[in-house]
Each structure stands twice: as C-alpha cells, then as structure tokens.
Amino acid sequence: MNRKILLPALFSILLIWFIPNGYSQNLLKNGSFEWCNPPATHVPIYNNYPITGSYYTTSAHLVWLHEWKTGNPYHGLGWSGGVPFNYFGYQYARTGKAYTVIGEYAFAPVFWLQQPMVSGRCYRIRYFVSRCDFESCAIDALDGYFSKDSIHAQMIAPDTIVPQFTNPRGVIYDTLGWTEITGEYIANGTERYFAVGSFFGVLRSNQRTKVCTDSIIYNFNGAHQYSLSLNTNRSIALYYLDDVAIWECGLPEYPADAGPDKKICAGEKAELGNNIPRDQYMYFWSDRSWHGPRHTWDTLANTPKFTVSPTKTTTYYLWSIDFKFEHTYDSVTVYVEQCDIDLEIPNVFTPNGDGFNDHFMIRNPNQVNYLIDVYNRWGNLVFQGNQNYFWNGTFNGEPAPTGTYFYVLKATTQDGTYSKDFHGTVTILR
Ligand SMILES: [Ca+2]
Ligand SMILES: [Ca+2]
C-alpha cells in the first residue's frame, strides 16, 4: 500500500476544509491564491474538487499562476505560464503552489471580507511580495485598500482610490525571497472589501517611488537553465503576491507542536502532536524533513494529531501553516524498543535421521540472542546451544536415549534492553 499522499492533493483537501467553517480568523478567503476564480473558468487547482462561491469580487485582471500550469503555458491562462516559471520571472509560491501578480498596473485582487470589521478595533494586515525577475523596475507603492463597495481591479488605477494602508517598507527590490509587508489598521466598521495593489494612477504617479535599472540581473534560484529573449526596456514594476491575510490584533497563535519524544514497545502505537483542530490551520506529517528538496516532500497525515506504529526508532516531522500563512515546524522521535520475546519451543523432536524434525529447532521471530542448556533427568548437562546452534539429539557423540529432557533458556534482545527466561521439557522420540 502506498501510504504517501502527494502534497498537492493534500493542499486541495485542506483548502476545502478551512473554507466552510463559520468563524474565520483570516478575514480573507483564498488569500494564498490556491484556487482559481476567473468567473468563466471557475475551477479549483485540481478538477477533482469542485467548489462554489467566489473569493474575490472581481478577477478581471487577476493573473493567476499555479504549478499546475507549469510546462503547459498555453493552457488556460495562455501567456502567463505557471509556477515557478512564467512570463514575469521565476518564483516558487510562498505557500502552496499558486500566487498572483500585482504592480503599478494594479493587478489587484479584491477580496471579500468574510466578516465585517468592527469599528475601532485593531486589525493586522499582512501579505508577501517578491519582485518579478524579468521587470527592470521596483516601486514602493504596494498598498492595501479597504472599500465599502466593490471596486473593479483595473489595469490603470483611478486616482480616486487612495489606499488606507501603505507599505511601510519602501521600495522593494528582492527577487529571490518573499518580502513581508505588514502593519496595523484601525477599522471604521464600513469595510467590506480589501484590495492589494498599486493604486497610483497617472495623476498621482509622482507620489510613489519607482526605481529602474537599464539591465536586469537574472537569478533563478539555481535549479533551472533556460534562455529567454526579453525586451529589457519593459520598464514596469511587477510583483508576485502571495499569502494575504487580515486578522484581529492579538489573536493567539499556535505553532506546530509535535509533542514530546515517546518510547514504545515494538507493535505498540504512539499518538503524536499537541495540536487541536483549529479553523484555518493545516498540518503535514512526514518521516522526512520538510526542509529537504521539494521533490522529497510527501506527507503521511494531515491531522493535528497523528498515530504511528513504527517498527524501529523514527523521527516524525510536523509542518503547520496557520490562518495567516505562518509556517512553523517541529519534530518528535519515537523510540522503539523490543519489550517482549516470543520463542516457539517444541516439546518433542525425532532425531532419527529421516530429515524431518531431526533437531530441537526453536523458532525465533524476534531474532533475539539466547543460550540454552539441556539436562537429562539426572541433572546432567547434555547440550549447550544458542540461536544459531540446535541440538541434534546426541550426547557425547552417541544418540541420547529417548525420553524427557529439561531445558533452561535465557534470551536477550539484540540491543540488550530486555531479557526473558524460558524453561520446560522436550521429549526425544525415534
Ligand atoms: Ca499561494
Ligand atoms: Ca524570483
């Protein structure tokens, strides 16, 4: 049985999980863009999981990039390509397998707020950007805009839209990693929608900073080689956007907790994980580190707790992603000991040379080490053996008389942690 579930499938399942629950800590749905939502092709990442409802009020200009599209750039979204390669550069998603693109042309996703914000309350806004590798400019205007009424994401943002939340980090240049943009916002209670983008139209374009270079330095995180002909005068600033979240200030956070190390006997079970089910939390268990190469990522379970029954000492790795796409990790080791010794010792054997049952054969399924002494009825030692050496029914080179013999056997596990004594009788028949 293949117990490993591929990670992509898992993401799909879990993203379904955390949508229907009533109370949402992250006020935004699909803030990691794992689901696609152009109205005409409202398909989730994988066709197996149909889903209804909208995540964004409009996605007319939402560029949706997903690993699913990689290698098939003309499928679906045509020119934009997939993840990590696409028309804009090279980048893996910060969470999951998908992200979108924003920039000075306001490719803004406009999110519903799942619950109204409460007037006077503090909320934290957070999202992550990575500058697109193939664009030669960088900007600071990567802001957040709350509105009472739905707005349309537009190619050129109207100057009437003034974002309430301003990127506090200034111009963002990084094309390799994801840059966190975060800050607090006090709600006025009328907010119903949230958009991320660059809300500076023609009239106000001088109010934001834009830095362009003549040549682009490519950096593809190593792994891939390809050639690209590119107009380096494409002097716009575009950014990948992933993991958009808004939550009430001060919400408790629960990092991954795999629980304390455990010690079990072989054959026993151990329950791992000090986590309880929580809305908008995802869990991934593996017996390989999550910090290895992506192609080795696979998961054994996706539940807060995980029951295991390893046959040898094993370390399990837990990866958790919470409501605001915080990634945390923990590990736990289950030490497996041999706590019982099971030997099958016959009570009769027939050393008559017919090739059948000629030795005092002891079955040893746990492969323990043992020493055995066999005595005759007068208490004389007639045989000494071990797990590799069985009595053939002779004593001093002569066939031992038929009748009953007594044995004393002392067995010890290979790691020396457990011993068990056996004694009984065995009868020789011929
Ligand atoms: Ca994502
Ligand atoms: Ca990049």
Listing DSSP states for 101-156 in one string gives: EEETT----EEEPSSPPPTT-EEEEEEEEEE-TT--EEES--EEEEESS-----SS
Geometric angle at alpha carbon 203, from 197 and 205, rounded to 5°: 50
Closest CA to 309 of 264, 260, 257: 264
Specify the pLDDT at position 211. Answer: 86
Give pTM, 2 decimals: 0.73
What is the pLDDT at residue 58?
A: 41
Nearest bound ligand to the CA of residue 94: 1
Cβ atoms 170, 98 nearer than 8 A: no
Contact 248, 123 (CB under 8 A): yes
The ligand whose atoms approach the alpha carbon of 93 most closely is 1
Q: 307 with 270: CB under 8 angstroms?
A: yes
| Residue 130, pLDDT score | 96
Span from the CA of 61 to the centroid of ligand 2 (angstroms) = 21
How remote is the CA of residue 165 from the centroid of ligand 2, in Å?
A: 25
Alpha-carbon gap, residue 39 to 64, rounded angstroms? 13
Q: Give Cβ neighbours of residue 337 (< 8 Å, ≥ 6 apart).
A: 263, 264, 265, 266, 413, 415, 417, 418
249, 122 Cβ separation under 8 angstroms: yes
pLDDT at 249: 97
- CA 385 to each of CA 59, 94, 109, 172, 405: distance values in angstroms, whole numbers, following the listed order: 79, 63, 77, 76, 14
Residue 31 CA, ligand 2 centroid: distance in Å: 20
Helix (H) or strand (E) holding 17: helix 7-17
Closest CA relative to residue 257, chosen from 313, 330, 360: 330
What angle (nearest 5°) sits at the alpha carbon of residue 360, between those of residues 359 and 364? 115
User: Which residue in 218, 168, 159, 161 sits closest to 193, CA to CA?
Assistant: 161
Measured in angstroms, how far is the CA atom of residue 328 from the centroid of ligand 2?
23
- Residues in the chain where the model's pLDDT stays below 70: 1-23, 36-64, 66-81, 105-108, 150-158, 201-203, 214-234
CA 285 to CA 316: how far, in whole Å?
7
Q: What token pair was written down for 162?
A: 């003034």
Determine the pLDDT at residue 82.
72
Q: What amino acid is encoded at 409 in this protein? A: L
Task: Quote the tokens at residue 157.
Answer: 């943002």
- Residue 307 phi/psi, 5-degree rounding, is -100, 125
Ligand 1 (ion): residues with CB under 5 Å are: 32-33, 93, 95-96, 98-99, 242
How many A from CA of 205 to the centre of ligand 2? 25
CA of 178 to the centre of ligand 2 (A): 9
Residues in the chain: 430
Q: What is the dihedral of CA 247, 248, 252, 256, to 10 degrees?
A: 0
